[in-house]
Every structure is written in structure tokens, then in C-alpha cells.
Structure 1
């Protein structure tokens, strides 16, 4: 799976595919250390982007969802408290956002 994402996930003009559920984020939770592991489930073959709230820059990371429906990626982040969400994209379509989640990098 991919490591640190390059560039910006520009999805603002992509149509939402209502039949595709938002990705599920399992990690991180609570206090974590670097590198931060992001993982969860999604639609096989789609790319999951992890975005910081507020959305004002590059994504934390992205990962391709595997054939088994799981994804995982690690990123090194500055020590801070974060709020984030995930969205999955493929073929110029996107899912809804995942619920926001919080974590703290020690």
C-alpha cells in the first residue's frame, strides 16, 4: 500500500456515488506515536484518502483498498492533536466522508 500521499486529493468537484459507503477507519485511536498507522476497510480497488479537518492542504496519506477490502498506510506527522476523516475515490467518483475521528501524536 502507499506511504505518504503526494499532492492534493482534489475531490470537491467529484460526484458522490451514494451506492458506495464511506470508508471505515479503525486506526488511529487515542494517543499514538510516529509513524502513525491509518487502517480500515473500504471498497476493493478504490483509493482511500485521509484528510485533516479543517480541509486546508494536502492529505495525510492515501492507500489503495486491497482485494480483501482492507487498507493500511503509515505517515509521520508533527506532534499535535488532530481531527480527520477519510473518503474513497475511484474513476472520478467519491464516497461520502467517514465520521470524523480524533487522535494525538506524542
Structure 2
């Protein structure tokens, strides 16, 4: 008779979340193994030709005691020593509340926000690339900011360690605005006007205070003989104004 081989349990060991999992181990090829969890038989598995077995199970988060039972050559059921393991709680799926799906935004900093399981870490993806992470606060919210290139972006979020996105948002980022050319300051090259005795032809970049100072006359006298000028600070090149007696 073939030598009896006591089955073993190899996975999972730790650091996985509760839910749909697969128990894995080894044993004698062709033998049938009973899986005992917390003292109850939950199913059986047949060891394959390669000496391995697997058993799918749905287990919530918590602590577990696993034992394996097989029948030896004499027909006696033999159980392994119990093995304990724990499954962590599954974090709630994060949401992506901003930016809104289908929105168009200006270039520059783009702000993200959403909700999730307090203390969990959220990954923010642009396509298949993780562009950043955020830790969910005690109030159940998270935020993140980045400055994307112009164009269409397919953003998504997921809990760190997950392979599937929990929420997504398509966003179009506008091209950066082109800065306007600086205004030309016509006063960079002032040109004095022409003194005609009783009148004066205004030059480039001149106003009444400058004209009065240049001609050595009183400013208020110059205003007094030019009642037609409503704004003393606004005269134009080529404009003819009156001059007071000198």
C-alpha cells in the first residue's frame, strides 16, 4: 500500500481580507481531504496528481482554526493539528466625488475628493498609472491634488491593494491660456509739443501739468484759459490748447 501522507495547509497565512478566498495545501495524490473550520466540516477536496489541493471558501473577517482530516491505509480518520489564521475586515469601497464625471476644467491644479473607510489608503489612477495616494480621515473623507497635462483623462480610485477600480471619472483639461502680449507704453518715447505763443500743439506723452511746467506758467492759469478741457489729465497729441498771457 502507498505510504500515508498527512495533508498540509499552506495558504492563506495572513494579510488578506475576508470574503471569497481559496484554501491551499498538499497531500497524497488522489486522496480526499475534509476541511474542518472552527470544529465543523465545511467541505472536501481531492488532492491532484501534483500533490496539491485547493478549496474555495467565503469567510468573513475574523479568527479561524483550521484542521484537515484524511483516512490512512487502515481506514482510520487522521486529523492534523489545528492551524489558526485571521482574515482582516474589507475596507469600504472609496468614492470619487470630484472632479465630476464628464466635466471640463481649466489647466492648473486639479482637486480630487471622495469618501472611504477611515484610516484606509486610496490610490488615484490616471488610466493604468497610479498618480498618487490619499489616506481617508476620521470623518470618512479624503482629498488629493495634482496638476495634469491638457487633454482627456480617465481617473479612477481604489483601495490600495485592490486590482479593480471602485469609482471613475472622465475629465477634459483645457490647454493653458496664452499670455497676452504686453501693452505698448506710448510714453516710452515722449515728444514735446509746439509753443505758438497764444496756443500750444500738444506733443506725445504730455498733459497740462507737464506743459505748464515746461513753459513756466501757472497750472491753474493754463486750466483757466481752456474751459473746453473736461479732464486736465487727458489731452491728445496734436490737440491745440490755449495759453495764458506771459
Q: 1:98 matched to which residue of 2?
A: 80
Q: In structure 2, how many angstroms separate the alpha carbons of the residues matched to 1:31 and 1:92?
A: 39
User: 5+ unaligned residues in a row in structure 1: which ranges?
Assistant: 1-18
Could you say which residue in structure 1 is the equivalent of 2:46? 64
Distance 1:78 1:99, change over 3 A: same
Q: Alpha-carbon deviation of 1:40?
A: 1.0
Matches within 5 A, 1:64-83: 64-83=46-65
Tell me which of the two structures has the higher relative contact order, counting C-alpha pairs closer than 8 angstroms and 6 or more residues apart: 1
User: CA RMSD for the aligned pairs?
Assistant: 2.4
In the TM superposition, structure 1's runs of 4+ consecutive aligned residues that sit over 6 Å from their partners are: none
| Ranges in structure 2 where 5+ consecutive residues have no aligned partner | 89-246
Q: What SS does the corresponding residue of 2:85 show, helix, strand or coil?
A: strand
Deviations 1:33-74 (A, max 9, x none): 322221111111111111123x2x4x2332110111110111
Matched pairs, number: 85
TM-score scaled by length of structure 2? 0.31
TM-score, normalising length from structure 1? 0.65
Which residue is equivalent to 2:68?
86
Counterpart among 43, 47, 63 of residue 28 in structure 2 = 43
**Residue from 20, 23, 30 that aligns with 2:7:** 23
SS of equivalent to 1:76: strand
Cα separation, 2, equivalents of 1:32 and 1:45:
29
Would you say the 8 A contact 1:28–1:37 is kept in 2?
Answer: yes
Distance in 1 of aligned mates of 2:44 and 2:12: 14
* Aligned-residue offset at 1:104: 1.4
Structure whose alpha-carbon radius of gyration is higher: 2
